[in-house]
Homo-oligomer: A and B are copies of this chain.
Amino acid sequence: MKDGPDIARLAALIGDPARANILTALMSGKALTASELATEAGVSPQTVSSHLRKLEEGGLTTVLKQGRHRYVSLSGDDVAQALEGLMGLAAGRGHLRVRTGPKDPELRHARVCYNHLAGERGVQMFRAMRACGHLALDGDAVTLTDTGTRFVTDLGIDLAELEKSRAPMCRECLDWSARQYHLAGTLGRAMLTRMEHLGWMSRASEGRVITLTTQGAARFDTLFMPDRASQSV
């Protein structure tokens, strides 16, 4: 009995170490060049060329050519979502790197997941916004409430700009480290960008770790603590 989608082919695409490293690097949401990805994966340019072709043919990545540069990115949110799901299962089953790097705790604390905030901080933010009634849930749908609209507008987010996009504004994304949900979608992205702009947090030039400044952490905790968020609004 062989029915339903063919997960073997898709999983085999992800199951090569070099390709897994490429996909993981692309989880930052950045579009990276083939050369950068060759460095990330630790293989030669010719090898990465071959891998990228397979990923593109499999529908996991898209490529944008600009002159002699080819910018590669994940082909959509759903790829990121499935990868996070695999990460969650891998973490839950103890499938960890042999050498857990010094960045592991930092990744768990705060990291970028396809351009939005993930890790403990991401979960904290999502939970606080729900607790304060800024976000409402209806099944799989997450919507911004009236108080939420005021909240994010006060924070400096241009909602009119977000509404121009056809992508969902709010979406739940299962966090592999916290095993809870954090906020994805265009609003999730805008929140991270805004907090970077405010100087609360910054992304490393390489990798996915997000670092909060001392002041940024304080401001973040002020805004996103459930029993304190009400007072600030």
Contact check: which of B86, B89, B97 meets A3 at CB < 8 Å?
B97
Q: Which residues of chain B are within 8 angstroms of A206 by Cβ–Cβ distance?
A: 1
Q: Which residues of chain B are within 8 angstroms of A104 by Cβ–Cβ distance?
A: 3-4
Tell me if A63 counts as interface (CB < 8 A to partner B): no
Give the residues from 4 to 34 in chain A that come closer than 8 angstroms, CB to CB, to chain B: 4-17, 19-21, 23-25
Query: How many copies of the chain does the oligomer comprise?
Result: 2
Q: Which residues of chain B are within 8 angstroms of A86 by Cβ–Cβ distance?
A: 5, 7, 10-11, 82, 85-86
What separation, in Å, do the CA atoms of A83 and B7 have in the docked complex?
Answer: 8
Q: Which residues of chain B are within 8 angstroms of A140 by Cβ–Cβ distance?
A: 172, 174, 180-181
Contact B12 A15 (CB under 8 A): yes
Tell me if A208 counts as interface (CB < 8 A to partner B): yes
> Looking at chain A, what size class is its interface with the partner chain?
35 or more
Contact B139 A130 (CB under 8 A): yes
What separation, in Å, do the CA atoms of A20 and B104 have in the docked complex?
Answer: 30
8 extra A-B contacts, CB within 8 A, seeds A5-B90, A7-B14 = A3-B104, A4-B208, A8-B15, A8-B21, A10-B86, A130-B139, A140-B174, A140-B181
